[in-house]
Structure 1
Amino acid sequence: MSLEIKNLSGGYGKLTVLKDISFTVSDGTLTALVGLNGSGKSTTINHIIGLLQPKQGSIVLNNLLLDQEPVAYKSQLAYIPEQPIVYEELTLKEHLELTIAAYHLDEKVAWQRAEKLLNIFRLNDKLTWFPTHFSKGMRQKVMIVMAFITDAKLFIIDEPFLGLDVIAVNDLLKLIDSRKKEGTSFLLTTHVLDTIADHADQFVYLKDGQVAAAGAASEFTKLVPELAVSKE
């Protein structure tokens, strides 16, 4: 079992956003964390990556607790945020070098992966570029490449398709499918399940900070009819 969230309550300061939520993300699967704005998706992500401390409950990743073994815990995570986080003073190449150093990756293997990913996302001729020259979509692609050169066991991807062109969306989905076959787990947030319906294994539907429904991705329309109707 890759990720287990059990009876998690949390939020910001005295504000409790999440109320006793529980779900798991098993090895080699993609779990879609679905919900409208304000449902608690981002708050859940912030707890998993360690930006927020739970008020109650536990988050366990491959038998590791963040507060007990933070370095080992975080080394198993790769996070792609909704809004790309880049360093304006670093080139694309330097961003990749930073990732390789932070994750203690084998440089030869990591650069082999990077070269393939840079070609896939059409960034191979932009290694000397600074982020100021990148569009929103290109910055998102940089984040994807940085994440996928790692050996992370769990990928946390927050609304990944915003700003990506159709080709890049398909390329990302192919990468996800490939890594799933290797046993990598994915937790991906989205408002609706349309884009990843054929790639997700299960879903967790958050509403007002609680798990309102959960199950196989194929059951989403039946279990969450309100979103099925709203996306038509």
Structure 2
Amino acid sequence: MKNVLEVNIEQAGYEQGHPCIFNISFQVRSGELLGIIGPNGAGKSTTIKTVLGLMKHVKANVFIGGISGKYAYIPEQPIFYEDLTLWEHLDLAAAAYEIDYEDFVVHAEELLTRFGMGQSRDLLPAGFSKGMKQKMMLMIGFLARPDIYIVDEPFVGLDPHATKDFLDLLEEERRRGAGVLMSTHVLDTAEKICDTFIMISNGRVVAQGTLGDIRRLAQQSEQASLFECFDVMI
């Protein structure tokens, strides 16, 4: 299947001459979910920032393919304008993605219903709970219908119903052909939903591939969980 994301990072860091990630390369194919896993401080967020072009001191090549070449970024920490309502945030995102207004209204209403946020559409997100703010980020991301989703710790703050809604929508988007790059600490969920993994520690790749590949690299049995492999290798 065609790659919708190709990443080759020679090095990247926050200060000139002080890189903190090295030699990280991977591809995401159409319909594939690639999980980035690793301990705190391993370089997961730096990798995502490099992919997004937010790092200044980098030696890297990033290619976003697909039909439109569009991506959607869903951050770990919700980002919003205090003076805009939920609906106005969705409207602003639709304008940025150049979505036809009638299509936007239909899709936005569907997302509001799906995430149980219909009654909050005209409220300011500053008063939302952490979970509600995260739902808003998810809705903005799904509104775009991009070729690649870049998702950073999406499960933080989500209740079980919202988590299921998110995973169901993600599966629908994958069937459409969208690829997903997801950073997460929730290894039991990652094991169930990810096709492939890239495990990072101390800024470098320590394992990469399917769960079967990770098990072999960790010298674990065919029944070993991702957590057990993680525990051995990190």
Counterpart residue type for residue 157 of structure 1:
V
Q: Which structure 1 residue ranges, 5 or more long, are not aligned?
A: 64-71
Alignment deviations for residues 108-130 of structure 1 (CA, whole Å, 9 cap, x no partner):
11221111111111101111100
CA drift at 1:133: 1.8
Q: TM-score, normalised by structure 1?
A: 0.89
The equivalent position to 2:10 in structure 1, one of 8, 11, 19, is 8
In structure 2, the residue matched to 1:105 is: 99
5 Å-filtered alignment, 1:130-149, equals 130-149=124-143
C-alpha distance in 2 between matches for 1:48 and 1:209: 15
Question: For the residues of structure 1 that align with 2:172 and 2:4, how far apart are their CA atoms?
Answer: 17
More helix per residue: 1 or 2?
Answer: 2
Across the aligned residues of Structure 1 and Structure 2, the Cα RMSD in angstroms comes to 2.1
Q: Which residue of 1 aligns with 2:228?
A: 228
SS of structure 2 residue aligned to 1:128:
coil
* Seq. identity, %: 38
Alpha-carbon distance in 2 for matches of 1:132, 1:153: 30
1:62-141 map, 5 Å: 62=65, 76-141=70-135
Write the distance in 2 (CA, Å) between the matches of 1:48 and 1:96: 24
Q: Which residue of 2 aligns with 1:184?
A: 178
Structure 2 portions without partners, runs of 5+: 221-225
Alignment match of 1:38 (pick from 41, 55, 68)? 41
Deviation for aligned residue 1:16: 0.5
Q: Which amino acid aligns with 2:82?
A: E
- Provide Cα deviations, 1:30-54, integer angstroms capped at 9, x if missing partner: 0001111011000011111111145
User: Deviation string for 1:75-127 (max 9, x for gaps)?
Assistant: x1101111111111100011011001111011111221111111111101111
- Aligned AA (1:13): E
- Which deviates further from its counterpart, 76-85 or 216-225? 216-225
CA distance in 1, matches of 2:187, 2:6: 22
Contact 1:192 1:227 in 2 (8 A): no
> How far 1:21 sits from its partner (Å)?
1.0
Asked whether the equivalents of residues 8 and 60 of structure 2 are also in contact (C-alpha less than 8 Å), the reply is: yes
Given the superposition, is the C-alpha separation of residues 7 and 130 from structure 1 closer, same or farther in structure 2, using an over 3 Å criterion? closer
Aligned length: 222
TM-score by length of 2: 0.88
- Cα–Cα, structure 1 residues 136 and 27, in superposed 2: closer, same or farther, change >3 Å? same
